[in-house]
């Protein structure tokens, strides 16, 4: 049963939030040379709880809307399959999603008491957007935007908890990992195009069409690497952060596979896996860049 719940929570995708929190902590270390370990661990726990919540609630609502019964499930898309396969009851998944939301909210509330209104605003956005993600945000075509903003706010919130201030470095760094996380969602939405469109969801792939949407991949790269290169050149961030450029060959491989999948759907799974690998490698190297300095 534990393995089923771990599957429902999508453990491998939680790494995006782990990287975002780690980045906020690494920028803190680069900035001040000290980290409050207790608050760092509590931040990580709260963020992971909120991430698990949005994944569980997404699984529940996609099943209730009939999306997951229409999609062809892959290791990267189409839901976890625990509800269509009858491994868990819908109510149990929904309740677990709410439980994780409450846990994350309580941890966030503790930080609001300690650090004030800035964390309160971030927490309020997180709770509202998580609860309405699968019923409203995806219908408005803002799923990729939500993920990018979520990643940015995690980095900002983590840094603020440690330093009680926000800087241009942490905001720009947050945008980098936010864009990298959003890229994974963007590519994973390609196989779900037909089912999502039929059930009223809007994604960039639906809005632009499969063929044109492949070019949007470059926008995510331009945003992430554009910020890194410009900021490193202006000495806003450590020059060592440029080691994240080492992941570019993986990104090129992902784009090539994604474009070829338009005529050969069997290549979409390798494209999704390659994109996930690129996002995680680039994000991890970016974190390391601050720690080297």
> Average pLDDT for residues 184-203, to the nearest whole number?
84
pTM of the model: 0.92
pLDDT confidence of residue 40? 98
pLDDT confidence of residue 49? 97
> Average pLDDT for residues 60-84, to the nearest whole number?
76
245 vs 199, higher pLDDT? 245
Q: Point out the least confidently predicted range of 74-83, 129-138, 252-261.
A: 74-83
> Average pLDDT for residues 181-205, to the nearest whole number?
86
pLDDT confidence of residue 157? 97
275 vs 140, higher pLDDT? 275
Q: List the Cα angle 109/176/240 in 5-degree steps.
A: 115
216 contacts 204 by C-beta, under 8 angstroms: yes
Q: Which residues contact 76 (CB under 8 A, 6 or more apart)?
A: 188, 269, 272, 273, 276
- Segment 244-254, tens digit of pLDDT: 999 999 999 99
In the predicted structure, residue 102 carries a pLDDT above the cut 80? yes
pLDDT tier at 155 (50, 70, 90 boundaries)? very high
Domains of the chain: 2-292 (1.10.600)
The mean predicted confidence, pLDDT, of the chain is: 92
> Average pLDDT for residues 82-93, to the nearest whole number?
89
pLDDT tier at 46 (50, 70, 90 boundaries)? very high
> What gap in Å lies between CA 285 and CA 246, rounded to an integer?
8
Q: Point out the least confidently predicted range of 124-133, 175-184, 192-201.
A: 192-201
Q: Which residues contact 116 (CB under 8 A, 6 or more apart)?
A: none
pLDDT tier at 3 (50, 70, 90 boundaries)? confident
pLDDT confidence of residue 199? 74
């Amino acid at each position: 049963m534990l393995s089923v719940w771990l599957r429902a929570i999508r453990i491998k995708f939680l790494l995006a939030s782990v990287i975002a929190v780690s980045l906020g902590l690494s920028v803190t270390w680069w900035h001040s040379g000290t980290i409050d370990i207790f608050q760092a661990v509590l931040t990580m726990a709260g963020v992971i709880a909120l991430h698990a919540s949005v994944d569980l609630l997404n699984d529940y609502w996609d099943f209730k809307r009939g999306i997951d019964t229409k999609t062809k499930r892959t290791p990267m898309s189409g839901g976890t399959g625990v509800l269509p396969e009858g491994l868990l009851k819908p109510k149990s998944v929904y309740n677990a999603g709410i439980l994780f939301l409450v846990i994350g909210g309580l941890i966030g509330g503790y930080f609001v008491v300690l650090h004030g209104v800035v964390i309160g605003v971030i927490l309020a956005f997180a709770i509202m957007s998580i609860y309405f993600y699968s019923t409203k945000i995806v219908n408005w075509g803002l799923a990729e935007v939500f993920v990018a903003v979520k990643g940015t706010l995690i980095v900002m919130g983590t840094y603020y908890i440690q330093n009680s201030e926000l800087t241009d470095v942490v905001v720009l760094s947050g945008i980098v990992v936010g864009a990298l996380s959003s890229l994974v969602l963007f590519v994973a939405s390609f196989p779900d195009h037909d089912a999502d469109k039929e059930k009223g969801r809007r994604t960039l792939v639906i809005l632009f069409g499969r063929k044109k949407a492949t070019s949007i991949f470059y926008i995510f790269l331009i945003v992430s690497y554009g910020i890194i290169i410009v900021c490193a050149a202006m000495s806003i961030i450590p020059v060592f952060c440029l080691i994240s450029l080492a992941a570019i060959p993986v990104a090129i491989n992902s784009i090539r596979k994604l474009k070829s999948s338009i005529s050969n759907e069997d290549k979409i799974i390798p494209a999704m896996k390659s994109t996930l690998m690129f996002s995680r490698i680039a994000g991890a190297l970016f974190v390391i860049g601050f720690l080297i300095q």
